[in-house]
Amino acid sequence: MGDKLDRIIVVDVEATCWQGKPPAGQENEIIEIGICVVDINSGQAIEKDSILVKPERSQVSEFCTQLTTLTQSQVDKGISFAEACLLLRKNYSTHQRVWASYGEYDKRQFERQCLARSIKYPFGRKHINVKNLLAIINAIPQEVGMARALEILNLPLEGTHHRGGDDAWNIGRILSRLLCQAREGNNGRSVRS
């Protein structure tokens, strides 16, 4: 089946983390998957979602709660990572659509976790690194963090930073602005083959 070029699925993950190295027997694993759907035709962020994922090989540390606001009891009510991957494919057709994240961390975390658990990777091959794209389009000599990117584009931070759903939404807004900049640079013309 061919790729669907109607929407870009923006993904932001929060994972278990510690101030230093993980405690013995624990590893970084996804505890929240934030999703923002960007409509390619309008260039607008149109939908926001968050999936809580119950960790199987780690606990939420106090440091992680301070960073993300997520607690162990909240993520204990989440679904399994395998179920979350199926949900992404089923509800968002992530295996058929272009997807995006801010940097490469989210992509690498999904790749590592899918490989370690023998779970089918939920995404297709087409990935947009919004962090890199922002730097290139705006001629910024170095990539910048998401909060700084919003400042550069004169966009307010919406929601809680380091919560997957809110971060995905803000990244979707950054991508939306970049799409609009690119279209304005093209004098609003659509290029059709």
Mean pLDDT over each residue of the chain, to the nearest integer: 94
Neighbour tally for 42: CB within 10 Å: 11
Q: Is the pLDDT of residue 156 over 80?
A: yes
Q: Is the pLDDT of residue 149 over 80?
A: yes
Q: Is the pLDDT of residue 185 over 80?
A: no
Question: Which pTM does this prediction carry?
Answer: 0.94
Q: Is the pLDDT of residue 175 over 90?
A: yes
Q: Is the pLDDT of residue 189 over 60?
A: no
Q: Is the pLDDT of residue 142 over 90?
A: yes
Spatial separation of the C-alpha atoms in residues 159 and 75, rounded to whole Å:
19
Amino acid at 103: G
Q: Is the pLDDT of residue 70 over 70?
A: yes
pLDDT tens per residue, range 50-66: 999 999 999 999 999 99
Average pLDDT on 72-77 reads 98
Return the domain boundaries, the chain: 4-185
Tell the CATH superfamily of the 4-185 domain.
Ribonuclease H-like superfamily/Ribonuclease H (3.30.420.10)
